Amino acid sequence: MLPVFWTEAADEDLAAITDYIAERNPAAALKLWQVLKASTVNLSGHPYLFQESERMPGYREIVVHPNYLVFYRVLADRVQIEMVAHARRMYPLKK
């Protein structure tokens, strides 16, 4: 099993998304935060569970919610969560 590691950039993406939503609906923001975080837990034992991204070559992507995606890479020693993005953003993104 590989540990799941969230990069600082991915944490910042998640915070920005949930902070924006919390301005209008704090309960929805908390629920979305929980869903996005929970979507990555099983990657520890199943890092190749999700398909390679067509939007972001070199990454795998999780469609967590119709509007939100989690991009990650499988490294030799960990699964690294790289980015959380709104599905309507232009791709490829550069981080």
Domain boundaries 4-86, CATH class: alpha beta
Q: What is the pLDDT along the chain (95 residues), one digit of tens a residue?
A: 999 999 999 999 999 999 999 999 999 999 999 999 999 999 999 999 999 998 889 999 999 988 999 999 999 999 999 999 998 876 655 55
Q: Do the Cβ atoms of 71 and 83 come closer than 8 Å?
A: yes
What pLDDT was estimated at residue 89?
Answer: 76
Alpha carbon of 53 to those of 34, 49, 63, 71: distances in Å? 23, 12, 10, 8
This prediction has a pTM of: 0.90
What pLDDT was estimated at residue 66?
Answer: 87
- Domain residue spans of the chain: 4-86
